[in-house]
Amino acid sequence: MDAAIACFRRRGFHQATMQEICAEAGISAGALYRYFASKAEIIAAIAEDKRGERDLLFLQEAQRSGLIEALCLIAGDFFEKLNAGDGALIADIIAESIRDDVIAQSLSSNDRAGVELIAKAIRDAQARREIDATLEPESAANTLYALIEGIGLRRAFLRETDPVAALLQFRAAAERYLSPRT
Amino acid sequence: MDAAIACFRRRGFHQATMQEICAEAGISAGALYRYFASKAEIIAAIAEDKRGERDLLFLQEAQRSGLIEALCLIAGDFFEKLNAGDGALIADIIAESIRDDVIAQSLSSNDRAGVELIAKAIRDAQARREIDATLEPESAANTLYALIEGIGLRRAFLRETDPVAALLQFRAAAERYLSPRT
DNA sequence: ACCTGAACACCGTTCAAGT
DNA sequence: ACCTGAACACCGTTCAAGT
């Protein structure tokens, strides 16, 4: 899987060949297909593997510095990845997920867990009167996720991937979106 | 190009073959390569062709019903497309744009024109005191675009492509984002 | 039980040959 | 000048043969 990550990052999902991944991993094509049923399944495994240990960090930051700082942690991470050249790969994963039900299912459970985590932090922040109490937590968490991904992909597309500028844009939008109504 | 659209919609960008497009168009492979230098160039031509006549409609709606209704026109259009099954193709186009500088350049000029259009409508709405006057128009236009694309792609990924629900989500977020500060 | 790597089916692209 | 379609180089995947 490390070999596949290296190859995909270097050449993108569709450009990287199974032969290259085999060479990088030091195994034959037959052996690779013993562990992954297809090329698409390799992405699914990679993406699934990427989340997890960040969850704890997020909740800690939400308690210590507030919801928006915690969101900026996630957003900043994502923008760094895009700036490092993973944009096309991320878009490939999205495309592959939209097309393939099996991949979508294996990724969306992970995604829903992330949304639930943010929703929980939103409820905490509402209890602390830090943000608007009339926001529906799940829906707001989803919207914030969409905003992060949308800003990141747009910036990759427009070749404006400076992660600091991207984070400023997200922070400003999130503050407006979350601030209490009058 | 109509043949390519039909094939891409039916099977996706990477799954559709040049042979299929040739058959659908009723020409040979050689003839196709007389008009398009590569498969990637066909997407670029399609995407470039898609905008244009909507611009006038947007400005009229912005004048008649306000900025948010006009934005909902664009967003609704986009969500309809995703619900009709174009999500994977759109993600493919984004991935291809991020990877390929030539495609990115040909698409981004069109994209910038769209952002400029929204920015203009934002300035008008600010003059009418309809929305927050402290928003920077270009940056806000970009953020709204990112929000539309982010919501749409996320919903396609999560298999929740009902365009009415998507539009409600966008409208609520846009209202919060644009409303005057206190 | 697990791996190898040649072979298979198929792809995007080219170009000599036609009209 | 423009088109045809067989041929080329190369891809993801398989499977008989090895260890």
Lowest mean pLDDT among A66-70, A74-78, B19-23, B96-100: B96-100
Residues 6+ apart with CB under 8 A from B3: B21, B24, B25, B26
User: What is chain A's mean pLDDT, rounded?
Assistant: 91
The nearest alpha carbon in chain B to A171 belongs to B143
pLDDT above 90 (res A110): no
Length of chain A measured in residues: 182
Q: How far is the CA of A71 from the C1' of D8 (A)?
A: 52
Predicted local distance difference test score (pLDDT) of residue B141: 97
Q: How far is the CA of B42 from the C1' of C13 (A)?
A: 14
- Chain A residues touching B139 at Cβ < 8 A: 169, 172
Mean pLDDT of A55-84: 92
pLDDT above 60 (res B52): no
- Any CB–CB contact under 8 A between A14 and chain B? yes
Nucleotide nearest to B34 (CA to C1'): D2
Q: Write out pLDDT tens, residues B143-173.
A: 999 999 999 999 999 999 999 999 999 999 9
The residue that leads in pLDDT, A13 or B171, is B171
Within 52-111 of chain A, which residues have Cβ less than 7 Å from strand D?
none
| Cβ-defined contact of B147 to A147 (cutoff 8 Å) | yes
Q: Write out pLDDT tens, residues B73-106.
A: 999 999 999 998 889 889 988 988 898 888 888 8
The residue that leads in pLDDT, A55 or B45, is B45
**Residue found by looking up tokens 């399944």 in the block:** A41
CA A8-B101-A87 angle, to 5 degrees, is 35
Label residue B51 by pLDDT band (50, 70, 90).
low
Q: How far is the CA of B178 from the C1' of C12 (A)?
A: 47
By Cβ distance, the residue of A104, A132, A177 closest to B157 is A104
Of A102, A137, A161, give the one whose Cα is nearest residue B104: A161
Distance CA B83, CA B86 (A): 7
The residue that leads in pLDDT, B10 or A156, is A156
Angle, helices A87-99/A137-157, rounded to nearest 10 degrees: 130
pTM value is: 0.91
Predicted local distance difference test score (pLDDT) of residue A48: 80
The nearest alpha carbon in chain A to B83 belongs to A98
Predicted local distance difference test score (pLDDT) of residue A53: 58
Predicted local distance difference test score (pLDDT) of residue A124: 95
- Any CB–CB contact under 8 A between A36 and chain B? no
Q: What are phi and psi of B118, to 5 degrees?
A: -65, -40
